[in-house]
């Protein structure tokens, strides 16, 4: 009788395999290609009042650098164009569902810069310059460049999720933030700057709209205030020795969240390298394999010490 059941189960699973072999195919189902990520500045479509801020972004090189790194790292099936223009469908950056075009309103760069110009002096007056950023960089211009670098990372995340059909295990908006955090932090040249800039810009948004509404809670994006803590927590986790000292000690990342920061970063870093593994360019395979192996090692090491951290956190919470 038992044997009989086993045979039926086996046949059933074979049938299932035959009927949806696509799901069981270990080979990537997305074509590999030589698609390029290109930034296109539509000079004729940029309003005169937005030209200065577009020039700042352009001269900083952060957009081109992000685009070039994505082109170099990935075997994209299609080109991806980032169109910087005022002749775009929405007021804020957006990505088409095929993941082939990112629309970047020039006016958005100006709105963000103006908001920071108002917010930065208020922060300096009320709390002082955050140590993790430093006075030299805590300016509306620099923070706007950093924040928009991060936001381009977020839109690039959406584009890759769609163009490469990246499997999702959570909300797409969270994953796009995760990609932005991952892909900007692993750039040794800029490190956590982009995520720090985004945290300040989002804090400026939150200061303008302190009351969280039902619309905010029901959005497919986490509420702005939560996104700020997510960015900062991952930043701390990416380099605890350097950043815990400023971001946690200065109260930007609460002591109740900080013990999870390293776990969050190592999961994100390994998760994205693993999700992108079938799409890594042939010429980047060696670096990609090494980065993924290192990310896995970091994650395993963190998993080994995590139970102790959680136990200590629970002990502190229960003694309060
Ligand atoms: Zn988004």
The model's pLDDT over 290-312, given as tens digits with 9 standing for 90+, comes to 999 999 999 999 999 999 999 99
State the residue for tokens 């890594």. Answer: 280
Residue 117 CA, ligand 1 centroid: distance in Å = 24
Residue 95 CA, ligand 1 centroid: distance in Å = 8
Distance CA 11, CA 28 (A): 26
pLDDT of residue 284: 98
Residue 158 CA, ligand 1 centroid: distance in Å = 7
Residue 314 CA, ligand 1 centroid: distance in Å = 34
Distance CA 309, CA 49 (A): 51
Indicate the pLDDT class of residue 26, thresholds 50, 70 and 90. Answer: low
Judged by average pLDDT, the poorest of 6-15, 61-70, 181-190, 288-297 is: 6-15
- How high does pLDDT run on average in the chain? 91
Report which secondary-structure segment, H or E, holds 40: strand 37-41
Report which secondary-structure segment, H or E, holds 104: strand 101-105
pLDDT at 10 over 80: no
Q: Which of 237, 79, 76 is nearest to 166 (CA)?
A: 76
Residue 63 CA, ligand 1 centroid: distance in Å = 17
What is the average pLDDT across 276-297?
98
Residue 104 CA, ligand 1 centroid: distance in Å = 13
Distance CA 33, CA 53 (A): 34
| Portion of the chain with pLDDT greater than 70, in percent | 91
**Residue 176 CB contacts under 8 Å (≥ 6 apart), including other chains:** 154, 155, 157, 158, 161
| Helices (H), ranges, the chain | 2-19, 21-24, 51-60, 62-73, 106-126, 140-163, 172-185, 193-208, 214-217, 224-238, 240-243, 261-276, 285-318
Residue 155 CA, ligand 1 centroid: distance in Å = 6
Burial 62-82 (b: 16+ CB within 10 A, else e): bbeebbebbbebbbbbbebbb
pLDDT of residue 140: 98
What is the average pLDDT across 145-159?
98
Angle between helices 140-163 and 51-60 (to 10 degrees): 70
Indicate the pLDDT class of residue 8, thresholds 50, 70 and 90. Answer: very low
Residue 227 CA, ligand 1 centroid: distance in Å = 12
Contact 267, 299 (CB under 8 A): yes
Greatest pairwise CA separation for the chain in angstroms: 81
pLDDT of residue 67: 98
Task: Compute CA distances 274 → 232, 269, 271, 294, 299, whole Å.
Answer: 23, 9, 5, 12, 12
pLDDT of residue 242: 84
**Residue 303 CB contacts under 8 Å (≥ 6 apart), including other chains:** 263
DSSP category for residue 76: B
Q: Tokens at residue 173, please?
A: 């908006």
Distance CA 63, CA 38 (A): 9
Of residues 220 and 1, more confidence is placed in 220
pLDDT of residue 241: 86
Residue 32 CA, ligand 1 centroid: distance in Å = 25
Strand order in the sheet with 37-41: 37-41, 80-85, 101-105, 94-95
Contact 177, 154 (CB under 8 A): yes
| Portion of the chain with pLDDT greater than 90, in percent | 84
pLDDT of residue 246: 86
pLDDT of residue 146: 98
What is the average pLDDT across 65-90?
97
Contact 62, 119 (CB under 8 A): no
What is the average pLDDT across 48-65?
98
- CB under 8 Å, gap of 24 or more: what pairs does 281-287 form? 281/72, 281/73, 281/74, 281/75, 282/75, 283/72, 284/72, 284/73, 284/74
What is the average pLDDT across 103-110?
98
């Amino acid at each position: 009788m038992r044997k009989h059941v086993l045979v039926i189960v086996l046949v059933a699973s074979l049938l299932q395999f035959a009927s949806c072999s696509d799901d069981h195919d270990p080979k990537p189902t997305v074509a590999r290609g030589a698609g390029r990520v290109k930034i296109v500045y539509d000079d004729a479509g940029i309003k005169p009042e937005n030209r200065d801020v577009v020039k700042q972004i352009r001269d900083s090189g952060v957009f081109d650098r992000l685009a070039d790194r994505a082109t170099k790292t990935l075997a994209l099936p299609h080109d991806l164009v980032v169109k910087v223009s005022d002749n775009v469908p929405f007021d804020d950056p957006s990505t088409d569902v095929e993941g082939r075009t990112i629309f970047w309103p020039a006016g958005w760069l100006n709105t963000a810069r103006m908001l920071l110009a108002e917010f930065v002096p208020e922060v300096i007056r009320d709390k002082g310059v955050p140590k993790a950023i430093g006075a030299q960089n805590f300016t509306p211009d620099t923070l706007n460049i950093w924040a928009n670098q991060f936001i381009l990372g977020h839109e690039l995340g959406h584009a890759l999720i769609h163009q490469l059909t990246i499997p999702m295990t959570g909300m797409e908006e969270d994953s796009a933030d995760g990609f932005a955090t991952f892909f900007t932090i692993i750039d040794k040249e800029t490190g956590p700057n982009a995520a720090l800039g985004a945290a300040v810009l989002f804090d400026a948004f939150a200061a303008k709209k302190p009351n969280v509404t039902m619309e905010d809670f029901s959005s497919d994006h986490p509420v702005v205030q939560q996104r700020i803590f997510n960015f900062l927590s991952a930043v701390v986790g990416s380099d605890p020795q350097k950043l815990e000292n400023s971001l946690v000690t200065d109260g930007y990342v609460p002591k109740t969240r900080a013990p999870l920061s390293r776990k969050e970063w190592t999961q994100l870093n390994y998760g994205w390298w693993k999700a992108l593994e079938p799409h890594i360019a042939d010429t980047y395979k060696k670096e990609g394999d090494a980065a993924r192996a290192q990310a896995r090692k970091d994650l395993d090491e963190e998993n080994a010490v995590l139970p102790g951290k959680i136990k200590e956190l629970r002990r502190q919470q229960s003694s309060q």
